[in-house]
Structure 1
Amino acid sequence: MRDFVTGIRLFGRGAGLLVRSPRLLLIGVAPALLTALLLLGGMIALVYWIDELAALATPFADGWSPGWRTTVRGAVGVALFGGVLAIALISFTALTVAIGGPFYEHIAEKVEDDLGAAPSEAQLPWWRLLGWGLRDGLLLVLRSLMFTIPLLLAGFIPVLGQTVVPVLLVLVTAWFLALELVAVSFYRRGRNLKQRRELLSTRRALAVGLGTPTTLLSAIPFAAIIVMPVAFVGGVLVAQETLRTTTRPARD
């Protein structure tokens, strides 16, 4: 529980750092805004077609009374939207980190320099950050589907699907978001996705503490544009916290 609270606190500290440095905030907003525009179109289309999709998913309810049919399909629609939103949030972070690689590498460098914790490795070229970000982001999105799809299906269960499942969905999304948010700090030290996941697993509550406010606040329309740079700086701080616990040499 202490690590979870620390993760939330580091998210808040990231906000404080950006408030004191508006230039870094603007740098972080640019790629988040571009990614938001790309995904917004998809979410608008989902909302527009949500009733039809819920009906396609529940053909067994066609002969039910209007009250039960509406209730079941409403629950399915909520579960479907929640699952897609979770995937979109993870994809949003992956795309933002990939597209904004040079921007976020600059932010990470500035924050780590201020903390006196800059890595000794040379600065990575932007094309390598882009390649790693796209590759690892795709892997994380695919891995997240292993959890979000079963949760999406569980969302069809009355009561449980509208109470326990949304909480689990937030926690799962928070974990995968945290893996993305710490990515640049690990890339700067030559550490790959496997190393990042293994190390962060030792402080899972810390990671989820960072990812939870990011997940919840990003669900507010357009808030993710501001939340993402804040969460990214929080990710730099979480990376610093976890990296201090290991002296394992980096591997290619």
Structure 2
Amino acid sequence: MQFTQGMEYFFSGFKLISQKGLKRFVLIPLLINILLFGSSLFFLYGWLTDGFAYMNSLLPEWLSWLEWLMWPIAVLVILFSYSMLFTVITNFIAAPFNGLLSEKVELYLTGQKINDDSLFDTMKDVPRMLGREWTKLCYYLPRAIGFFILLWILPVIGQVLWVLFTCWMYAVQYEDYAFDNHKISFNEMKNDLKQKQTLSYGFGLAVMILTAIPFVNLIVMPVAVCGGTRLWVENYRSQYRS
């Protein structure tokens, strides 16, 4: 079944990131994740501390215990709601490194180089890679706003559609690196993924579940890039080879 196969592609990324020759290319995206996540949590902790101190100063002394009740609630809400925003930010910063990781995974799986670009050529390609991330963001935002509004109008239907949309976007995000390495346009990539939507939804669901788990989500990005590249190699690569 394509849906479960899509999930298996994601989880195969855990094995790929540990392979000799690939581990060093995983390190930079992983460090970016850790540094951004750690620094943002430090900022949020300071913001919450100041906020709760101000709130506590307004409460009568007999209600001061509310601070201890609200701390764990606030932390859980922030950790889980922050995951998608965190993903968007880190993908922008890590896009060149994710593209390089995808290229090396494809070389590992196929034994064939995508191109013979030098380091200088790769650096010149960074603006195009960031432009691709901007294209994905422009595709995501208006749809996300629409589905968010629908959540309030039709809660049950809205929740189902939101989950499906999130799965789709995670698939678009992480399967796209291999397509982009071959200079395949964003629209053509989307059309290809739509031909095997169930495969992409299974992949995206696995990404979504692990992204929602605090601290586990630190390693999701390189795992998803590796798994998404394997999915590309085994399902789409042949149709673009002469």
TM-score normalised by length of structure 1: 0.68
Compute the displacement of 1:92 (Å).
Answer: 3.2
Query: Any idea what SS the aligned residue of 1:173 has?
Result: helix
Partner of 1:27: 25
Query: Any idea what SS the aligned residue of 1:191 has?
Result: coil
Distance 1:27 1:154, change over 3 A: same
Partner of 1:182: 175
Query: Is contact 1:4–1:207 with CA below 8 Å preserved after alignment?
Result: yes
Compute the displacement of 1:83 (Å).
Answer: 6.9
Partner of 2:62: none
Give, in whole Å, the separation in 1 of the partners of 2:41 and 2:158.
Answer: 21
Query: Is contact 1:83–1:148 with CA below 8 Å preserved after alignment?
Result: no
**Paired residue type of 1:131:** P
Q: Say how many residue pairs are matched.
A: 214
Give per-residue Cα distances to partners, 1:39-69, cap 9 Å, x unaligned. Answer: 56557767957xx9xxxxxxxxxxxxxxxxx
Range with bigger deviation, 143-152 or 187-196: 187-196
Give, in whole Å, the separation in 1 of the partners of 2:38 and 2:153.
Answer: 28
Aligned: 1:191 with 2:184: yes
Aligned: 1:130 with 2:126: yes
Give, in whole Å, the separation in 2 of the partners of 1:149 and 1:198.
Answer: 23
Distance 1:120 1:17, change over 3 A: closer
Partner of 2:100: 102
Structure with higher helix content: 2
Partner of 1:235: 228
Query: Is contact 1:32–1:225 with CA below 8 Å preserved after alignment?
Result: yes
Give, in whole Å, the separation in 2 of the partners of 1:7 and 1:165.
Answer: 24
Aligned: 1:154 with 2:150: yes
Give, in whole Å, the separation in 1 of the partners of 2:37 and 2:128.
Answer: 21
Partner of 2:193: 200
Distance 1:82 1:142, change over 3 A: farther
Compute the displacement of 1:166 (Å).
Answer: 4.2
Query: Is contact 1:98–1:131 with CA below 8 Å preserved after alignment?
Result: no
C-alpha RMSD of matched pairs (Å): 3.5
TM-score normalised by length of structure 2: 0.70
Query: Any idea what SS the aligned residue of 2:239 has?
Result: coil
Give, in whole Å, the separation in 2 of the partners of 1:81 and 1:16.
Answer: 27
**Paired residue type of 1:189:** H
Give, in whole Å, the separation in 2 of the partners of 1:121 and 1:217.
Answer: 33
The structure having more radius of gyration, on CA atoms, is: 2
Give, in whole Å, the separation in 1 of the partners of 2:27 and 2:165.
Answer: 25
Give, in whole Å, the separation in 1 of the partners of 2:102 and 2:79.
Answer: 29
Query: Is contact 1:123–1:188 with CA below 8 Å preserved after alignment?
Result: no
Runs of at least 5 residues in structure 2 that lack an aligned partner in the other structure: 52-72
Instruction: Report sequence identity in percent.
Output: 22
Give per-residue Cα distances to partners, 1:101-155, cap 9 Å, x unaligned. Answer: 4344333322332xxxx36644473224422321111111121112211222333
Range with bigger deviation, 84-93 or 8-17: 84-93
Runs of at least 5 residues in structure 1 that lack an aligned partner in the other structure: 53-73
Distance 1:81 1:225, change over 3 A: closer
Distance 1:233 1:136, change over 3 A: same
Distance 1:130 1:22, change over 3 A: same
- In the TM superposition, 1:21-170 aligns within 5 A as 21=19, 24-38=22-36, 41=39, 85-113=83-111, 118=112, 121-123=115-117, 125-156=121-152, 160=155, 164-170=157-163
Compute the displacement of 1:28 (Å).
Answer: 1.2
Distance 1:36 1:193, change over 3 A: farther
Distance 1:244 1:185, change over 3 A: closer
Distance 1:106 1:244, change over 3 A: closer
Give per-residue Cα distances to partners, 1:86-106, cap 9 Å, x unaligned. Answer: 344344334323344434433
